[in-house]
Structure 1
Amino acid sequence: MVKNKEQKQMKLSATGWMQSINNWGTIIAIIALIVFFTVALPDLFLTGSNIVNILRSISIVTIIAIGLTVSLSVDGFDLSIGSSATLASSLIVSFFVWYSMPAGIAIPLALLVTLIIAGVNAFLIVKVKIPDLFATLSTMFIFEGVAMTYTGGGSISVGMPRLDGSPTEGTLPVLFTKLGQTPWIIIIMIVVVVIVHLFLNHTKHGRYMYMIGGNQEAARLSGIPVNRYRTLAYIISTLFAALGGIILASYVGSSQINAGAGYLMPAVAAAFIGASFAGKGKPNAIGTFFGAVLVGILENGLVMMSVPYYSLNIVKGLVLALALASTYYNRKHH
């Protein structure tokens, strides 16, 4: 009897330890990576300039991932975030270079036009009842094509002629170019994380979204307008993806072909890594930020160690697989 009780206590203790490791796994992994890269790369990795470099490199991914986090909060999944970023990037540069618009008009207009993607997503998911994954996969390809058709399948930069060959006189405003520079790009990222954290955790709208994500039918029976909040989630998701695309255009100084596509996988990884942060077991802004930090440190350290760039996707894919395994294992055992 005593032996069984001791075994039971040991089992509970082991389970508690495993749960703690899983809850704080992201922070443990970040600390472990920092220690490893500091030992492997003394005088290079843990410097002020490199820390700023890591934060700058994860800024755009984090902003886009924060939008994805909001769609995940209602048990949705927005695969079109990369295309939203690409479209916004193409629009903003074309507004400046082709049409010489001022920043005060061009930036809100680019955000507004990109929200068409949110409207199409919401229509397909909420009205037509297509599962989120398939609906946003469709819009990902559609709006990737729209962006490429709009730019004529090429990049847009200052001094380049329009598609019909006519010359352009527009330039990128100083205010716009500052968005992609340090410290502004990092400040924007932190502001976005804080705003969404407060929205999801400290407003009734955020709580409603989590309730919908937990049990859609129960939320509906409680009187929550489920479809309205699911639509709102996709609007917010597209809005932050578009903001990420605009900052990307500012950072690069031009609009590149399918520029946002490369941000989809790191954003998904950051959001899913963050879901288990601090035992929350649900998408959350602070967790997503630390998820992006983990991926950013890993990439930065591996590049410094001269790991070929074409091998980085293997590592990022493994990190994503571990994050997904952890998230879904926890859901199954709660």
Structure 2
Amino acid sequence: MTIRWGILGTGNIANLVASDLQLLPDAEIAAVGSRAQERADAFGDEFAIPQRFDSYEALVTKADVDVVHVASPHPYHVGHATLALEAGCAVLCEKPLALNADGAARLIATAREQDEFLMEGMWTRFLPVMDDVRRVVADELGTVQVLRADIGFHQPFDPEHRVFNPALGGGALLDLGVYPIALAFELFGPPDDVTSSVVLGDTGVDEQCAVVFQYDDGMQAVWQASVRADAGRTCAIAGPGGRLQGRRAWWKGAPFDLTRADGSTETFARPFEGNGYQFEAAHVMRCLRKGKTESPVMPLDESHALLQTADALRQEWGVTYPGEG
């Protein structure tokens, strides 16, 4: 059974996802929607998409699709995903699911009221090497005590760029920090206590942050996100049985190196074609074929809890976005 996809948006992420959907023989990109017909046509020409629409409303109400990938900027996720859900379409929404936890709660409620599938596109969780990571964590490391992760790059300052613009949900936290938060949640769940330090930029968004998640059982997750510098982009998961080290760009499917307590080592590498978004898309399609309205791998309540944690950090830092209280 072929699953027909609609792409909402024509930016960089939409291009990456559309390219990867072409790697799946049981996926068809049937439609694209943009705010301008010329952009929809250009995107349609690039990916041989037959239905092209000059509005998102037209995409979700007129296109013959099963699922819509929402690829618009953070502040528009709730509105655009709601359009699709209320039109009877399943939704894969780019991370973060919403700008804040209140928006996520409204969107989740809509999906459940409409009895439609909704999932946050936390694509790292579906990459092949993560199967090895989960197995090693479960079978070899013992009770994990520490997660350490960093994620960052140097982005030249431009107040209109999405990572610096408050109107676009800018900041290192929502653009990058969601990856180590999601990994910490998968390993330990939501933190019992949080401490942090932040560097705010000229536009008022968080350009760099360092965070410690503390758990009552003694575990810690220590992570940093930055749009000011690249600190290595590595991670480590450690327990009494050894250490699992994710190489540079760990959230993109890089190899992981295991060093056991006895000194023996092993490397887990799962190279793949494309950008890596095809794995979350394939998971969504499996869920749809089984009649599921929610992913067991990236459940909606976890997406909501992730944003509750992000909201608490932003409140501590004094970072707000237009339209928030």
Structure richer in helix, relative to its length = 1
Q: Which has the higher contact order (CA 8 A, sep 6+)?
A: 1
Category of TM-score, reference length = shorter chain: under 0.3
Given the two structures, how large is their TM-score scaled by the length of structure 2?
Answer: 0.23
